[in-house]
Amino acid sequence: MGGFTTVYLKDTSDIQKHNKLLADYGVRKSIRFWSQDNLREEFKFWMQCQSKGRKEQLKYYPEWIVNKYGFLVITFDDFIKYIFSPDVMGETFVPKVGSLGFDCYFGRTSKRAMRNLGRYIVDNYRDIKKVRGSFETFMERGMTPLERQIIVDSHLKTYLYDVNMKVPMSQA
């Protein structure tokens, strides 16, 4: 298991508000909550690749998906159903709407970025449904002792990856 951490919003109807807050906190652009707009952009890209031919699609999408489902995709809904969903490709490759992910190991996310993200999470924990992955490691690296205590006292749900989100970290 790597240091990948995912944060999920309670309400996915106002993702743009939270993405703006992340920008206001100075969190880099690559760390944002995934939205329907992202899915539409990905569908647009899929259609562009499809118009260029199968070889172009294979540069960006797994061969088994292109071979098995590529011909079925005509609409945006088809794309979500057969190609670009967490159920088909896995959440590591296709985040769920309302989630953001980052890797807090080996300097993949800078200390400054983790610090800014930590401030955002502490100030907005009431809007967060749950966190998953190496969140404890992130808290050590991205939050002050007082902020860590605020999160612990908030009873924010934290889950390990290897137990399929069924057992909170405090019970694992």
pLDDT at 163 > cutoff 80: no
Taking the C-alpha atoms of residue 4 and residue 139, their distance in angstroms, rounded to an integer, is 13
Cβ of 106: how many Cβ atoms within 10 Å?
Answer: 8
Answer yes or no: is pLDDT of 165 > 50: no
∠14-170-110 over CA atoms, to 5°?
Answer: 55
For the chain, which residues make up each domain, given as ranges? Answer: 4-34+96-171, 36-89
> What phi and psi, each to the nearest 5 degrees, are found at residue 137?
-65, -45
> What is the band of 90 on the pLDDT scale with cuts at 50, 70, 90?
confident
pLDDT-based confidence at residue 170 (cuts at 50, 70, 90):
very low
Mention every residue, 6+ apart, whose C-beta is less than 8 A from residue 46: 57, 61, 73, 79, 83, 84
**Alpha-carbon gap, residue 34 to 98, rounded angstroms:** 5
Q: Please give the Cα distance from 51 to 86 (Å, whole number).
A: 24
Q: How do beta strands 4-9 and 99-103 pair?
A: antiparallel
Q: Is the pLDDT of residue 99 over 90?
A: yes
Contact 151/5 with Cβ under 8 angstroms?
A: no
pLDDT in tens, 3-21: 788 999 999 999 999 999 9
